Structure 1
């Protein structure tokens, strides 16, 4: 495999670096030093520059979605009793988070949402040190469960994230 191909593969294993290359905010020498690619740093940096030149620019788009909080969310059978289907917030692999007097808050966004919007919201929450207990997206609905005390702050963060979803 060529040095250029090895460098591209190493970047693809680090989505944050790929985004930074697309955004044009990379110190190529520092990035080259951080990659586990055989070759001298200058050659790897050159491969990074050429790869960046071939990538589309990073852009963002506004997502039209309404975000609401649902308090009292918990793990069905542990935090709260089993609930009606209308009370389900997130279900993954048979594990249900439901709105029925639990210790957490769900942020539910309805509208123009998808996996990319979920990723943007979870990344922004992580950057603000907000714990995400559960998250999911299907059709035109996105749900993120956070500790109850983080609800209002998380609502503002998720709304902000939906205003600038990278594409």
Structure 2
């Protein structure tokens, strides 16, 4: 494998570095030193520069979605005793979060949402140290479950994140 191909593969293993290259905010020498690529630093840095030149610029888009907050969400069988009448907020791998007097809050975005929008929301929440207990997206609905006390902050952050979804 060539040095250039090895460098591209190493970058693809680090999505944050790929985004930084697309955004044009990389110190190529420092990035080259951080990669586990055999070759001298200058050669790897040159491969990074060439790879960055071939990448599309990082762009974002505003998503048309409405975000609402749903309090009282809990883990079925652990936080709350769920009944068939309870509203299932999100189910992942057979684990259900239901709206039934639980200790968490769900942020539910409906509209132009997909996996990229979910990624933007979760990354934004992580940047602000908001714990995400569960998250999912399907069929025009995005759900993020957070501790109740962080609900209002999370609502604002999810709304903001939907204005800057990376394409």
Q: Is the 8 A contact 1:83 1:98 kept in 2?
A: no
Aligned residues: 167
**SS class of match (2:130):** coil
Provide closer, same or farther for how the CA distance between residues 80 and 136 of structure 1 changes in structure 2, counting only shifts above 3 A: same
TM-fit CA distance, 1:81: 1.4
Structure 1 residue runs of 4+, over 6 Å off?
none
Task: Give the TM-score normalised by structure 1.
Answer: 0.98
Show the counterpart of 2:127: 127
Q: Is the 8 A contact 2:86 2:100 kept in 1?
A: no
Runs (5+) with no aligned partner, structure 1? none
Task: Give the TM-score normalised by structure 2.
Answer: 0.98
Counterparts of 1:83 and 1:146 in 2: how far apart (Å)?
A: 22
Structure 1 segment 48-67 matched on structure 2, within 5 A? 48-67=48-67
Taking only aligned residues, the RMSD between alpha carbons, in angstroms, comes to: 0.8
Show the counterpart of 1:147: 147
TM-fit CA distance, 1:83: 3.4
Counterparts of 1:141 and 1:34 in 2: how far apart (Å)?
A: 38
Show the counterpart of 1:6: 6
TM-fit CA distance, 1:139: 0.7
Structure 1 window deviating more from structure 2 (86-95 vs 142-151): it is 86-95
Q: Is the 8 A contact 2:107 2:155 kept in 1?
A: yes
Q: Is the 8 A contact 1:23 1:58 kept in 2?
A: yes
TM-fit CA distance, 1:85: 5.9
Counterparts of 1:101 and 1:142 in 2: how far apart (Å)?
A: 21
Counterparts of 1:85 and 1:54 in 2: how far apart (Å)?
A: 53
